[in-house]
Structure 1
Amino acid sequence: MALQASSRSLQQRRAFSSAQTSKRVSVTKVRATAIEAENYVKQAPQTLVRPGIDTEDSMRARFEKVIRNAQDSICNAISEIDGKPFHQDAWTRPGGGGGISRVLQDGNVWEKAGVNVSVVYGTMPPEAYRAATGNAERLKNTGDGGRVPFFAAGISSVMHPRNPHCPTMHFNYRYFETEEWNGIPGQWWFGGGTDITPSYVVPEDMKHFHGTYKAVCDRHDPAYYEKFRTWCDEYFLIKHRGERRGLGGIFFDDLNDRNPEDILKFSTDAVNNVVEAYCPIVKKHMNDPFTAQEKEWQQIRRGRYVEFNLVYDRGTTFGLKTGGRIESILMSMPQTASWLYDHQPKAGSPEAELLDACRNPRVWV
């Protein structure tokens, strides 16, 4: 009996070992496939749109030019403040397009700052299409048959400073097209916005940030700022917490209600004002003294940032569902964050004021 039991045990161990080996081989194949999906190149191509098809005067090519110029100017401004350059990875995608990822890590001012550009096209599963747009009407009665032909170009950035008195900042501007699918005509729309996530409330800083974007909005449509400010507060709500990720900014999506030329001009103006809205605040506070308690509070707020990005952010969902580059998709994550059990800031404290502002959005300008 003991010998039979020992024999069965040996067989079980062998079977388990074989299964584990098979699993490792399978995982290795998956990883290899993922790596093969990205062709890293030493130098970014002059253009990532379709050569010979998307001409220079097409919206696709013009939007790519806007976001690549913005990537250059914003990275230059951040590097000048930090004193450290960005690391760049350029890649192409066999299915169509590619991207340029730039990350500054372990800097003097920023623990982590990334500015990514991507231009991708091909086909995507219907669930990715649904993740890409918040317009449910567009997707009624479409079913799940086939794959949706699409084009997507965008610039995305998140910057996490070291000093808890310097705010985290995020921006994203994108242009999207689909071709006819399941009876739905081809679509196009713009989306994006810039928002700010401080650990402490400094009204003058918020007036500067929001004031910059109100001026941008007013140059294009006086109704934009109120509409997009409110949209931002609604979008960045962490529903399971009942609080916003930060103190807002502007946000818009599915914008195609007017001439695309006008929306392109607005998007260009908005992305070109990221430096003006954000950098003066960082310069003002990057050398402020801070305590261990203030650093801990920053870590807790970063935890909220992670929760929103992984649970609710449509850009993250779209990237994962279309097999996007994982390092680029998760570039928005901070290097470190904290989740303390049932942490409650002391009533009347600066930390409690920030929490109140996240729960009850304020009008800054």
Structure 2
Amino acid sequence: MSGKTFTALGLAAAAAAFWSQKPAIQTVECEAPPKKDEKKKSIKTAEDDKKRKLEGLTPDSPMRLRMEAFNKQLQAEITARLEKLDGVGKFKVDSWNRVEGGDGISMVMQDGKVFEKAGVGVSVVYGMLPPAAVAQMRAQHPNIAATKESMPFFATGISCVIHPHNPNAPTVHFNYRYFELGSEDGGEPVSWWFGGGCDLTPTILYEEDAVHFHRVIKEACDKHDPRYYRDFKKWCDEYFYIPHRNERRGVGGIFFDDLDDKKPDELFAFVQTCGKAFLDQYVPIMERRKDMPFSDADKHWQQIRRGRYVEFNLVYDRGTKFGLLTPGARIESILMTMPLTARWEYMHEPDLKAHAKLMETLRVPREWIPL
């Protein structure tokens, strides 16, 4: 890979590893990849962090380690609950390590009794960000000083996508992540932020399910800032839009990125509340819908809607596109979000009134609960 065509590989690896919905860096022209001696900085930070984890984490431990620990604990809780709900399916565990520093765990269930496919992934990535990539990042984070040197970065995230068998049960997605740009001396990060969100994608619209999903996440947001749900719900409706279809992917939820407007501990608490709310958001819906009867027409409609899900992820989702263009990316992890089955038909129109009702909602976003 030549210097002229070098893609901001460090951050690309991070985005590819945990399916970031909005990577901060696009493909850039820059001088050269980070040098070997520069890479040693991120490796040293990773090694130092291993020692810190062995000693035990405290409320004063670096935020990156606390977020990593939270992600892995949440992954364990969610996968255990989903296995119990499915009753038959088990998660395959795929653990991996990065030479430059970091590791991850991809857990995927396929062909369960309830879930056609469910994936919960956690990634921890250390690396070096080239100067041109740092320069682009300054547009959103002006506290980052101009530099001609690569800078160490850290990224961790948890991402989950669930595709049920029953078309009465909705697909769901969430992602919560943390990024920091390190200092030269290994001290406090130069810049940091949180991002994430959750959204629901039904095949057949049950308004009470959408209301429940939004109410639970609004309650989580309101514990931290009364503006969060309103602002992040709007952001979600805008992000999960499929322009060539003139429709949204689903009934929304919340979406946020570059969140650094409060103290780190305050925003970490917010992200924890949102992550912990997921099972309350989704499990009651699944318990209502997983055993409902459905017709061949419903299953056919589900496959058409799955096709729309694939279109959004491959054409518009920034993290997916970024990852697929990244040399050496974990393709299996990036494509974990894809359903096992989907369908495309020429000039398809919904056959049933219940199916058409969903389309009306996808074209014009609704306020599911009072603001």
CA contact (8 A) 2:320 2:334 kept: yes
2:164 to 146, 161, 165: 161
User: What residue number does 1:93 align with?
Assistant: 98
Rounded Cα–Cα distance in structure 2 between residues aligned with 1:137 and 1:160? 34
SS of the residue aligned with 1:363?
coil
TM-fit CA distance, 1:319:
3.3
Amino acid at match of 1:336: T
> CA offsets per residue over residues 238-275 of structure 1, 9 Å max, x none?
12222111000111111001101110000001001111
Deviations 1:106-146 (A, max 9, x none): 00000000000000111256787799x7x95459xx99977
Within-5 A mapping of 1:170-181: 170-179=173-182
2:247 partner letter: E
Q: Does 1:279 align with 2:278?
A: no
Give how far 1:177 is off: 1.1
Matches of 1:261 and 1:172, distance apart in 2: 19
Separation in structure 2 between the aligned mates of residue 169 and residue 49 of structure 1, nearest angstrom = 37
What is aligned with 1:191?
195
1:70 and 2:74 are equivalent in the alignment:
yes
Contact kept, 8 Å, 2:74 with 2:275, in 1: the verdict is yes
Q: Deviations over 1:218-253 (max 9, x none)?
A: 111111111111111011111222211100011111
Question: What is the identity, as a one-letter code, of the residue corresponding to 2:128?
Answer: T
Query: Between Structure 1 and Structure 2, how many residues are aligned?
Result: 314
**Distance change (3 Å), C-alpha of 1:307 and 1:59:** same
Aligned position for 2:293: 289
Return the offset for 1:342: 1.3
Note if 1:364 corresponds to 2:363: no
Q: Tell whether 2:232 aligns with 1:228.
A: yes
Deviation readout 1:155-197 (Å, 9 max, x if unpaired): 001000000000000000000112469xxx9321100011100
Deviation per residue, 1:310-344 (Å, 9 max, x gap): 12212223434374311111100000111111112
- Distance in 2 (CA, whole Å) between partners of 1:127 and 1:204 is 48
The answer for the alignment partner of 1:80 in structure 2 is: 84
The aligned residue for residue 49 of structure 2 is 50
Give the letter for the 2:291 counterpart. Answer: N
CA separation of 1:81/1:118 partners in 2, compared to 1, >3 Å: closer, same or farther? Answer: same
Deviations 1:46-104 (A, max 9, x none): x9983246883110110011111100110011000101221101110111101001001
Distance 1:293 1:144 in 2: 59
Aligned-partner Cα distance in 1 for 2:307–2:147: 35
RCO higher in structure (CA 8 A, sep ≥6): 2
Does structure 2 retain, via aligned residues, the 8 Å contact 1:49–1:60? no
Q: Distance in 1 between matches of 2:247 and 2:80?
A: 34
The correspondence for 2:113, drawn from 84, 104, 108, is: 108
* Rg comparison, structure with higher value: 1
Deviations 1:280-300 (A, max 9, x none): 111101111111111111111
Q: How does 1:114-129 map to 2 (within 5 A)?
A: 114-124=119-129
Alignment of 1:195-344 (within 5 A): 195-320=199-324, 321=326, 323-344=328-349
d(CA) in 2 for partners of 1:303, 1:49? 45
Alpha-carbon contact 1:128-1:322 (below 8 Å) kept? no
Instruction: Tell me what 2:21 maps to.
Output: none
Structure 2 unaligned segments of length 5 or more: list them.
Answer: 1-12, 18-45
CA distance in 2, matches of 1:117, 1:157: 9
Q: Secondary structure at the match of 1:273?
A: helix
Distance change in 2, residues 1:48/1:354 (3 Å): farther
Tell me the TM-score normalised to structure 1 length: 0.79
Which residue is equivalent to 2:65? 61
The DSSP-based 3-state class of the residue aligned with 2:204 is coil
Cα 1:148/1:293, change in 2 over 3 Å: farther
SS of equivalent residue, structure 1 residue 354: helix
Native 8 Å contact 2:135 2:146 kept in 1 = no
Is structure 2 residue 359 aligned with structure 1 residue 355? yes
- Distance in 1, matches of 2:141 and 2:65, equals 26
CA contact (8 A) 1:49 1:119 kept: no
